[in-house]
Structure 1
């Protein structure tokens, strides 16, 4: 056992298992959306919009509303909405699979006791990039599909897409911490080798 990560074979099977979970999860999301008669959209009233009565409640600036709209009510733009929603799921699944692949390569380098090689550094950077790309790509496609829902409902004058950046900033922080910890460990390993050379 090297660095507590197990053998190369165990690493390969573990990453294949995670990739399988990602594929099944993405497939389930595609099926769930396709079989549903509704499409969801998160919107917020525009700052300059008046208070409106909507679905038995009042829509006013500062609210964030999760709409569940019948697909038949947005039939005019359903092709675009479907394309964006399927694209969000598929693109997210592909990014996850790419991240798993580079994580597999990084752990393989650790198991081979070359965790600070150039290849391992590139693999960890690729994992960090995938972490940041996931909320950017999927969030962007979700915003575009929500815009299409608003356009089909003709509510663009009163509502705007609710854009939450929490997931993006969390991904950025995790990616930076990964690189920082790796750099510290790499420098520590170099200092340890230098100290051994002096003894």
Structure 2
């Protein structure tokens, strides 16, 4: 089987590779943020703010605007902003690594031909939880850092954090479908065993 499911050894090295890729990706994001002179934030005008003419268009509540703010302009709260941004990267990386570890355990159960054991069920539930937690944790920290940026710029009266629940709901749907498919396969396996016992 491909993607690390051919054997226990292949599964181990595949998951080590995925974990290493996650660490490198997180490190690259941290370095990119550290080396940049700017910090980005996505905001939207507050619902009661007037429509603004901007570059031939109309900026109004509901429009998302991405700002690239010089770190020197938010120096007053840069410590908090840095803490939130680095926290977002580190926390997201930890959630990914936990998900990879429990995926490794689940795939090991598949390789050892015990895919429907209690341990495998728990492993898959943890993977699903990690899928949902990733956008919740990283999105929450991003919102807090954006709030800090708005506070440093003193724009909290006219702008609000532009948040989207799209990634969260997508993660929830994937997690639920994963559990549903697993439950169907588990029930199918049970029925097949029962049928074999009747023959």
TM-score, with structure 1 as normaliser: 0.95
**How do residues 30-179 of structure 1 correspond to structure 2 at under 5 angstroms?**
30-52=30-52, 59-179=59-179
Question: What residue number does 1:194 align with?
Answer: 194
1:22-48 deviations in Å (ceiling 9; x for gaps): 000000000000000000000000110
CA separation of 1:157/1:56 partners in 2, compared to 1, >3 Å: closer, same or farther?
A: farther
Query: Deviation at 1:55?
Result: 8.3
CA distance in 1, matches of 2:54, 2:21: 39
CA distance in 2, matches of 1:55, 1:97: 44
CA distance in 2, matches of 1:54, 1:37: 25
| Count, aligned residues | 198
The two structures, once aligned, show a CA RMSD in angstroms of 1.7
CA distance in 1, matches of 2:156, 2:60: 14
Query: Deviation at 1:51?
Result: 3.0
CA distance in 2, matches of 1:129, 1:123: 10
CA distance in 2, matches of 1:57, 1:34: 34
Question: What residue number does 2:11 align with?
Answer: 11
Query: Deviation at 1:132?
Result: 0.1
User: Residue 141 of structure 1: SS of its match in structure 2?
Assistant: helix
CA distance in 2, matches of 1:28, 1:56: 37
Query: Deviation at 1:137?
Result: 0.2
Query: Deviation at 1:50?
Result: 1.9
TM-score, with structure 2 as normaliser: 0.95
Question: What residue number does 1:22 align with?
Answer: 22
Segments of 5+ residues of structure 1 without an aligned counterpart are none
